[in-house]
Structure 1
């Protein structure tokens, strides 16, 4: 994939679209058939989108290319942390606000914010030097 083909926001948009479509297909074919409630299916969408939000920036930014020099085990561990953080964070948010009578859209937004923030926080916790500027070092 050539970075120059699309601007950063284009890669982000394509990645988020593919992640959302894949998660919704999973929801339809697996979770829907298993009887998983519709209001909780947003968790899979958030979990699929979280790595896209983080890794497009890491892949696209020249100052973050040293990340890819780490071991494969470290990168796989980061992805596991991202998936876990997004799933746990969004699930906690949905369960916490489920009985407040909020609209589904607002519940989904709160779940997205919580899931993405926990996923990014775990990623940052494992890679704190990745986001330091040149003046901080």
Structure 2
């Protein structure tokens, strides 16, 4: 894929659209009818969108290309860590606010913020060297 074909926000928009589409199909066909309560359907969307938010930046930024030199197992482990963190963060946030009488839109936004923040925090925790401030003093 050619990075120069689209700006970063274009790749991010395409990735988030495809992730949301896949997550909603998973919800519609598998999870909501069988195991997941309807109120928690956004957890799947948040969990599947979180790697897109993190990895588009890692893929697009030239100064972060060294990340791809890690082993495939390390990268897959990071992705699974990010997905699990996003699912956990958004599920805990939803569990805490589900009975407060907030609109479902506001519940989803708060769950999204908690899930994405936890996912990014866990990615940063596993890869602190990628975000270190370099000084030449």
TM-score interval, normalised by the smaller of the two chains: over 0.9
Q: Residue 99 of structure 1 aligns with which residue?
A: 99
What pairs with 1:50-89 in structure 2 (closer than 5 Å)? 50-89=50-89
| Equivalent pairs, count | 137
Pair 1:118 & 2:118 matched:
yes
Q: Residue 30 of structure 1 aligns with which residue?
A: 30
TM-score after normalising by structure 1: 0.96
Q: Residue 48 of structure 1 aligns with which residue?
A: 48
Map Cα deviations across residues 103-129 of structure 1 (whole Å, 9 max, x no partner).
101100000000000000000000000
Q: Distance in 1 between matches of 2:25 and 2:136?
A: 43
Please identify, of 36-45 and 11-20, the stretch whose mean Cα deviation from structure 2 is larger: 36-45
When the two chains are superposed, the root-mean-square deviation of aligned CA atoms in Å is 1.3
Q: Residue 135 of structure 1 aligns with which residue?
A: 135
Q: Aligned with 1:118: secondary structure?
A: helix
Q: Residue 9 of structure 1 aligns with which residue?
A: 9
Q: Distance in 1 between matches of 2:135 and 2:104?
A: 44
Residue ranges of structure 1 left out of the alignment (5+ in a row):
none
Structure 1 residue 33: Cα displacement = 2.2
Q: Distance in 2 between matches of 1:18 and 1:117?
A: 21
Q: Aligned with 1:100: secondary structure?
A: coil
Residue ranges of structure 2 left out of the alignment (5+ in a row):
none
Structure 1 runs of 4+ aligned residues shifted over 3 Å read none
